[in-house]
Structure 1
């Protein structure tokens, strides 16, 4: 597991927590921030996964 995978998964979790907190409190801005952070974490984790796949293929 590389650092992009780890950081991405952490960002996903933090984003999901913000999203849920925004829904519960009715704070649409916090909910949107959480969704964006969640998506960016998924992208970063995906890049890390791709790097691992390339490293394994070589």
Structure 2
């Protein structure tokens, strides 16, 4: 196992935390397994995220 750190908007972090808690309450699975599954699901959607950003101007 490893640990990483990212900066996120508070509302995004709050939503993610709530999502993990809901899945944990419904399944009883450990949080690290839930986070891993959610990140794998996000990775599988990477191309759609690229498409969303293609229409935005680059940051300053």
Sort the TM-score into its range (normalised by shorter chain): 0.3 to 0.5
- Which structure: greater helix fraction? 1
By relative contact order (CA 8 Å, sep 6+), the higher-ranking structure is 1
